[in-house]
Amino acid sequence: MPDVAVVGAGYVGLTTAACLAHLGHRVVCADIDAERVARLGKGEVPILEDGLPDLVAQGIAAGRLRFVVGARAAAAEAEFVFLCVPTPQGDDGAADLSYVEDVAREIAPVLRPGTVVVNKSTMPVGSTRLVERILGEAGASIEEIRVASNPEFLREGSSVRDFLHPHRVVIGCDDPAVAVRVSDLYRSLNAPILVTDPASAEMIKYASNAFLATKISFVNAIANLCEALDADVRDVTLGMGYDPRIGFEFLHPGPGYGGSCFPKDTAALLHTARSVGYAFPLLEGVVEVNRRQQVRMVERLRAALEGRLEGRTVAVLGLTFKANTDDLRDSPALVVAAALVAAGARVRAYDPAAGERAADAVPGLEVCADPYEACGGAEALAVLTEWDEFRWLDYDRIRGCMAGAVLLDARNLLDPSAMRRRGFRYQGVGRS
């Protein structure tokens, strides 16, 4: 009997399944997509995540990890059932819990007495109660089934490392015995384990992401001020970061935050706040600063091109929401590229991981096979995602194949003086 069933083989589910198998648990991972399950069964991992393919192969080889189609098949045999299905953003900003509800209804009739259902996907405060209610309504003997919240804090691109070296493991559950059982799954990680009530555990996730988003919007606002005051944001954040109450992390200014989490989770938290009549101007400000930061990048390019984007050629390096991922969801780089296309510019872009899909996402965006091709004939170049390889490009060659000299380094990736020596009209974010 497998210890654990993981429902949903997206980046949270797959990372959770592969890492729990790596920790020695017997794991069955379920997904509704039969083709995805078939590929995973052969060890083919359809997402770009450092170390994940090895862990999946290792788990399959050790007989501790297997993949099935459908949640019921997995849940019927398991002691723990992790719900790792999508909770996308709904029209009103609320988290859409329909996938969670569907899975809860599907597994309810087959859960064994003593099974613990674990909410792993990001779900708003009250979701543990919701799952308990649906399981009960759908035929589970709720007296013998327990539900716990166990939010993940994985970053895309480093999810395996984040799972195996967590800052903390959070468990939200009313039943201390169940909390001990869930924490036992993570015992070999030697990480701090915080056991609390479900609502607090659910809030820890949202508050953590909202706080990180706040840090980024704050540093982007400070960076914009630095531009107006001729200060250098890199020195400013260095000076701030020495204070351990502030820290150095998440103080990198740029084109704004994106991805599948921060935009969605800040919107969901604002929705939750509204639903209980709490005004949250601070977080509204964070979201607004982030929206303006993306617009600001477009306006800076327009200003650098004598106020006209129509008919100009702009090269873009980076389309994913951050480096080391192939994820384009809510990517600021893609928002900027799309706005440039909408303004009538010819946009030639390069991204190491997501080029083709970006072309589908932004009609009119020309995606090139290499960065030099993208820069050919461009009057301006915008570096929008902090891929490491962009540091080491031949900028003499790039300057030579561009028609203009404008360089907007929206990630402060490059050395301003080195770029100016090469004849670029260099602009960073928060530094002159």
Residues with active-site annotation: 261
CB of 429 vs ligand UDX, minimal distance in Å: 10
- Name the minimum Å distance from CB 160 to ligand UDX: 13
d(CA 432, CA 419): 12
* Number of residue whose CB is nearest ligand UDX: 261
Using the minimum distance from each CB to ligand UDX, give the nearer residue, 74 or 335. 335
Q: Find the distance separating the first CA and the last CA of the chain, reported in whole Å.
A: 62
Rg (CA), the chain: 23
Query: Residues interacting with ligand UDX, by CB under 6 A?
Result: 152-156, 209, 212, 216, 250-252, 254, 257-259, 261-262, 321-322
Measured from the CB atom, the residue of 322 and 348 that comes closer to ligand UDX is 322
Q: What size, in residues, is the chain? A: 432
Closest CB to ligand UDX among residues 136, 285: 285
- Whether 319 and 351 have beta carbons less than 8 Å apart is answered as yes
Is residue 33 classed as helix, strand or coil in its secondary structure?
Answer: coil
| CB 390, min distance to ligand UDX, A | 14
Q: Which is nearer to ligand UDX, 304 or 429 (CB)?
A: 429
For 91, left (φ over 0), alpha (ψ -120 to 50), or beta? alpha
Which residue shows structure tokens 């900028």?
395
Query: Smallest distance from the beta carbon of 46 to ligand UDX, in angstroms?
Result: 17
Q: Under 8 Å CB-to-CB from 143, ≥6 apart: which residues?
A: none
Q: Is 283 exposed, middle or buried (0-12, 13-18, 19+ CB in 10 A)?
A: buried
Nearest distance from C-beta of residue 288 to ligand UDX, angstroms: 16
Beta partners for 7? 30, 83
Q: With respect to ligand UDX, which residue has the nearer C-beta, 145 or 219? A: 219
Shortest CA distance to 150 belongs to which of 77, 82, 75? 82
Instruction: Using alpha carbons, select from 38, 109, 47, 70 the residue that is nearest to residue 353.
Output: 47
